[in-house]
Amino acid sequence: MVNLKINNIPVTVPEGTTILEAARLAHVEIPTLCYLKDVACVGSCRMCLVEATGARGLVAACVYPVSEGMEVKTNTEKCRKSRKMSLELLLSKHKKECLACERAGNCELQRLSTEYGCDPNHFEGEPLDHPLDESAPYVVRDRDKCINCNRCVAACKKQSVGAIGPIGRGYNVHVGSAFEMSLMESVCVGCGQCIVACPVGALKERTTVDSVWEAIADPEKKVVFFTAPSVRATLGEAFGLPVGTNVEGKMVAAIRRLGNVEVFNMDVTADLTIMEEAYELVSRIKNGETLPMFTSCCPGWVKFVEQKYPDFIPNLSTCKSPQEMFGALLKTYYCEKNGIDPKNLYVVSVIPCTAKKYECTRPEMNGEVDTALTTRELARMIKTAGIKFADLPDEEFDNPFATATGGGAIFGATGGVMEAALRVAAKLLDGNFEVVDFPEVRGTSPIKEATYSVAGVTVRVAVASGLANAAEILDGIKAGTRHYDFVEIMACPGGCVNGGGQPTLPDSVRNNVNLKGLRAKALYSADKENTLRASDESPVMAQVYGEYFGSQGSHKAHEVLHTHYTANKRI
């Protein structure tokens, strides 16, 4: 342990701790721009410079280790002047369109510039006129707003994707894709982790909010929304509620007040995905078909396989994601049952993910979901409509797609798909099986493994979140060092609760709060409180199979609920 003082406050921390980490124990917040816990720590932005005994000049608190007897000053005149100059230099090559920027009021550069009283025009840079990269259906990149903090680069590298990186030198250095290609031409999989890592407005989702407003205003259109499991655990953050608050009832009430729309529960098709996926898994095991079987509900993960590991495409479950299953269910069963022309049904998915925007455009999905909105986009619509979210009463989802099981709710957390599938698969193997809790696959650990034995059948499973961890599992399977029957992969670390479309929170929250854990806790609480735990217990499943699909794995189910994937190997 090391003893030191930060602004005259005694602190004791383990050896190897950085000044930035030690300062938090003294309740001192040192400003940062390039630092992001567990993602980026390079000391390049120079915002965290502090004075420390034993050091020559100012040092970067995010990388500088503490030492015995050290005295640190974080708020001297020298520190403040240095930070102000660094900010004004950043502003000299930053497109200052704060009034039109969607990060206005939630931008780290804007906040720090205000706090340090910066003159945005103190240094005059070259004119900024680089075109937007709008090539992808899920993200827009604005080079003229980029401050070269490289947090997006670090996030992409951490995902083992490497679609973006620094190009050029000196004043001309900028972030881009290899050979200045567009994002759509690159190896980008659309996970959106770069967006939530960005401290400014240089990266954002490609919004379709205006299209949704137009559909709501169109008297010829019937508009239906459905919301992904994790959105209820994160939407409240956009309205100042504590991280991990379950706002399901307020979320439904808010969407209903956007116009004449119906609001359905995507947990229903999470259950439907499990019904088909569990049946497919048991069939593969019993019939000696391709194993291990991989989950396919995450489009970022699917694209990762198609591009980097196409040999594993046969291992992907043929099940569509819950989003696409809902679109297919609405434009077939629901339209037929209610005498609606599918062309007049406008389907809006609310999701925690930017890759789902890409998924909507895949030709294999037949345009069954008209558009996907991120959690952030829904929050903006609610604010635009003048709805006081925190004051809303709790309301229920609309029938016939209101009731779902706890297995559907935990889909948004890493390990949730696996646990929900095991609940149903175990019953298919042993009709008397009653266990519903599989704690071995829970938690935010990057990779989790477990082995279960049911009715004489041994099932070896693995769960991974974050594409670097997915690559580790795939490489292990190829090398013959890892052996599984069923594998769940989610592209985003921690799962959908930490998706690229979730609310953008300030660094003071992201660096100090366990977002993944608190958000996931809300979903597991919803599961525990639900009287229906396994997907096959849902009355909606009984209804749709009884009235339309017949049975799990039926020809009709394959026609509507299953799909295929295509190798698209990139360099």
Active-site annotation, residues: 277, 280, 297, 317, 356, 359, 364, 496
d(CA 379, CA 383): 6
Rounded CA separation 515/233 (Å): 10
What b-and-e string marks burial along 325-334, b requiring 16 or more CB atoms within 10 Å of the CB? Answer: bbbbbbbbbb
How far is 166 from 197, CA to CA, in rounded Å?
A: 16
Contacts of 77 (CB under 8 A, 6+ apart): none
Kindly tell me the burial class for residue 226, based on how many C-beta atoms sit within 10 Å of its own C-beta (0-12, 13-18, 19 or more).
Answer: buried
Question: Six-digit token pair at 245?
Answer: 């608050």
Q: How far apart are alpha carbons 448 and 442 in whole angstroms?
A: 8
Give residue for tokens 């497919």: 280
**Count of CB atoms within 10 A of residue 535's CB?**
29
**Alpha-carbon torsion angle 446, 451, 452, 455, nearest 10:** 140
- 3 state DSSP class of 226: strand
- Show Cβ contacts of residue 529 under 8 Å, excluding neighbours closer than 6 positions: 406
What is the rounded radius of gyration, in angstroms, for the C-alpha atoms of the chain? 25
Cα 431 to Cα 150: distance, rounded to the nearest angstrom: 53
Question: Cα torsion at 167, 170, 171, 173 (round to 10°)?
Answer: 10
Torsion of CA 384, 388, 392, 395, to 10 degrees: 10
Q: For residue 133, what is the DSSP state?
A: B
Structure tokens at 358: 């890409």
Contact 268, 544 (CB under 8 A): no
Q: How many CA atoms lie within 13 A of 530 on its CB side?
A: 22
Write out the DSSP string of 238-307: GGTPPTT---HHHHHHHHHTTSSEEEEETHHHHHHHHHHHHHHHHHHHHHT-S-SEEP---HHHHHHHHH
3-class DSSP assignment, residue 36: strand
106-113: Cβ within 8 A, 24+ apart: 106/504, 106/506, 107/199, 107/200, 107/201, 108/33, 108/199, 108/200, 108/506, 108/507, 109/33, 109/147, 109/199, 109/200, 110/200, 111/506, 112/31, 112/33, 112/47, 112/83, 112/87, 113/87
Report the C-alpha gap between 401 and 437 in whole angstroms. Answer: 25
